[in-house]
Amino acid sequence: MAKKSINDIDFAGKRVLVRVDFNVPLEGGKITDETRINAALPTINALVEGGARVVLCSHLGRPGGKPDPELSLAPVAERLDEILDTTVKMAPDCVGDEVARMRAELGEGEVLLLENTRFHAGEEDNDPEFAKALAGDAEVYVDDAFGSMHRAHASTVGVTEYIADCVAGLLVHKELDSLQKCRDASGDGFIVILGGAKVSDKIDAITKLLPRAEKLLIGGAMAWSFAKALGKEIGESLCKPESFEAAREILETMDDDVLAKMVLPVDVHMRQVEPDTGETRYAPIDAIEAGWNALDIGPETRKKYRSIIVDEAEIVFWNGPMGYFEKPPFDEGTKAVAQALADTDAYTVVGGGDSAAAINQMGFEDRMSHVSTGGGASIEFVQGDDLPGVEALDEK
């Protein structure tokens, strides 16, 4: 990796501002999934054990630039205090006189968690004054929130203008090293799998990755947008106007030789919704009927995709589920693709978001080469875009 990490600097005794990703799910003030907290522990522990004075900052949810008690990071501070071998203090805000005092009083190896950065509009606006206040007295900035590095916010970019040393944490270091293989890949053996609901969300990825890939496999509801754009009946299947237009634009503007590398489902698993009988059945992609909702790829598509992944792939990048994986039996397509990735000898990367959630839910995470913590960030990095949060870090 061309960027410096905490392995490249001396942080002992220094005041270190760490951007972590504590955007955890909460129910009734309780954390229901600690994955993101656990992902940050190696960096936090390294800093604590190395004698840094550690200030953690993160966003949580979308409070709209004003305080929201239900989106407080206090539950995270409580949990960190339980699992870290040091006392964790919780700040009442992320900026202000009281916060500055608490930061100044931190001893070596001590940790202070700032309140939700998105309680201030200046965070998402990357306001210079807010960024300067957030940087505070920090001598070192560490970004360990890969899932937010594609956003030019105050806590990911703005603060770097006011802190001398700006480096990657251990999680970000691992992410960039692992994803670089996909970013550099092209031609034979590079298989891309894209799923999810909207073509409009991934039009950039398709137009940039399709020319580079040997094959690009399409799944999820975005497949129905392509089917409709090709003139097929899709019944009640999800296809928002913007996704239909995006699919049509891709089909009309991209070179035929490039489009030939796109692989669409040949069959579907669908459910009758008008009338709502609850009946489900498989059907060829050309045989979706009015009143039926396609919710997953079918068995023939699963076989076809598995064959491509297992027999042809050298590097695989997967972002987005193949169907409505949250509700069986429409998890079969996603599970089949996950199984294929687990069975192949290829280098396999799962690009965060719902596909990572599915992999974890199905117990395949340990059989992947890398499971990213950032959905949007991973796909933007792999497709060749510069991430603002990465660009803001110091070069080696």
CATH dotted code for 6-172: 3.40.50.1260
- Which one of the listed residues 333, 352, 353, 389 is annotated catalytic? 353
In whole angstroms, give the CA distance from residue 286 to residue 368.
34
Which of 195, 333, 376, 389 is labelled catalytic? 376
Query: Is 376 tagged catalytic?
Result: yes
Tens digits of residue pLDDT in 19-63 = 999 998 888 889 988 888 999 999 999 999 999 999 999 999 999
φ/ψ (deg, to 5) at 167: -135, 170
pLDDT of residue 375: 83
User: Which entry of 3, 14, 15, 36 is annotated as an active-site residue?
Assistant: 36
Determine which of 157-161, 201-205, 272-276, 301-305 has the lowest per-residue pLDDT on average: 201-205
Q: Is the pTM of this model over 0.85?
A: yes
Question: Does the fold of domain 179-382 match that of domain 6-172?
Answer: yes
- 114-123 pLDDT tens trace: 999 999 999 9
Could you state, in order of their start, the residue ranges of all structural domains in the chain?
A: 6-172, 179-382
Is 179-382 CATH 3.40.50.300?
A: no
Could you say which of 14, 198, 302, 335 is catalytic? 198
Q: What is the pLDDT of residues 225-268, one digit of tens each?
A: 999 999 999 999 999 999 999 999 999 999 999 999 999 999 99
